[in-house]
Structure 1
């Protein structure tokens, strides 16, 4: 069931970015509907919805051209967050469709609701780490650290979701056999194996779509990295507030 978790593993967080695309967040990013903020140890830069620039609370005078660059940079960041949220919702829907399909195959509607609830709870838990009171907060993270932390969480979640799915599937098949005259371990094993093959085939189909979507997300991050370089050329003071490029 590892692929089921991979299918659902696109979270709105730097952890997602690091796993799907090897990037590092060099400074903390905070986002609201009104502005984005980039925080370093003792200073922070703010780009408002009106594309105004403040550094540590002090307004910075910018030209029309510089303001246009600020706008493009802010909009690119907003776009990536929206793209990632859409991808998250799409994968939640895919997991729901898959589990409903398996339940229908076993003639047991709702049999895997607990599995879906676990997946949704995982999403909610991870999102809650970064979304606080209408604000997204993404701390600076190194790829090596993020990769290790994600792997540990991935393994724990994978085990819990896999056990829940297999336990529920076993219970549904066993109860159906009992109603039809008694347990047959050989037949139960065959049906479980057939079910695993069916799920794997469906997930392989989803994986192809997911690969294309992740590639698009990586492309968006590459564009942001390039846009950030343009920003630094236009406003050199912002080099100290880099997100994806070395300061």
Structure 2
């Protein structure tokens, strides 16, 4: 579940940050896998809770009643739901790129010529996600979303430059080869075709802009819901209050 969960969600949050401020961030760093959630304070102390409702704080196992265990498991489920939503957004983003490449390749009869672009985009996502992986666990530092809203535009720009450069190069080579096979290279026709291709890609992305905005909004709402659930949890287990995952304070 932890694989491919994060990057597209972060890129979406970055791309939408001017239009919508999602006033949630990570107050402490976390380590998450399918069985447990670990919350790490800056001083090295940590709280760990698992799918059985067990909780340890700073190395001490807490004795919880059934109501507390139920609340803790509900909270853990919300965290995992957020991960699944981020996973779905990443999958959706990669599928969008793949579908656009397939559409262009089919329409202009250059199937296979853009496989390098697709591979580069997938590798780009994998390289960034590797920063947040350790032995199959998802590792997220404190203030992650704030840092991405400040610096994530650089990653988004790198991705855009990558797609533009490789896409243009591969399309030019594919269309040149195709024309030569069909009777000779026509530079005027090639320039027209390149313009049509870029317009087609821009339209495909524009057609999906509303879906991207909706996904970013739903992800924000899910994080806010989890932050509120955390506040309710702290009413039942006050010892967890200093191990908050979410910060609902309005970001500047």
TM-score normalised by the chain length of structure 1: 0.88
**C-alpha RMSD over aligned residues:** 2.2
- Asked whether the 8 Å contact 1:45–1:56 carries over to 2, the reply is yes
Question: When the two structures are aligned, how many residues end up with a matched partner?
Answer: 239
| 3-state SS, counterpart of residue 129 of structure 1 | helix
Match of 2:109 in 1: 107
Shift of 1:152: 1.6
Select between 51-60 and 146-155 the one with higher mean Cα deviation.
Answer: 146-155
| 3-state SS, counterpart of residue 93 of structure 1 | helix
**Unaligned stretches of 5+ residues in structure 1:** 1-8
Pairwise mapping of residues 1-12 of structure 1 onto structure 2 (< 5 A)? 11-12=6-7
Match of 1:178 in 2: 180
**Unaligned stretches of 5+ residues in structure 2:** 17-21
Pairwise mapping of residues 47-66 of structure 1 onto structure 2 (< 5 A)? 47-66=49-68
CA distance in 2, matches of 1:157, 1:178: 31
Match of 1:33 in 2: 34
CA distance in 2, matches of 1:95, 1:14: 15
| 3-state SS, counterpart of residue 109 of structure 2 | coil
Shift of 1:109: 0.9
Shift of 1:147: 2.2
CA distance in 2, matches of 1:135, 1:17: 22
Match of 1:5 in 2: none
CA distance in 2, matches of 1:17, 1:221: 14
| 3-state SS, counterpart of residue 78 of structure 2 | helix
CA distance in 2, matches of 1:125, 1:232: 36
- Asked whether the 8 Å contact 2:6–2:129 carries over to 1, the reply is yes
Residues 62 and 18 (structure 1 numbering): CA distance in 2 closer, same or farther, change over 3 Å? farther
TM-score normalised by the chain length of structure 2: 0.87
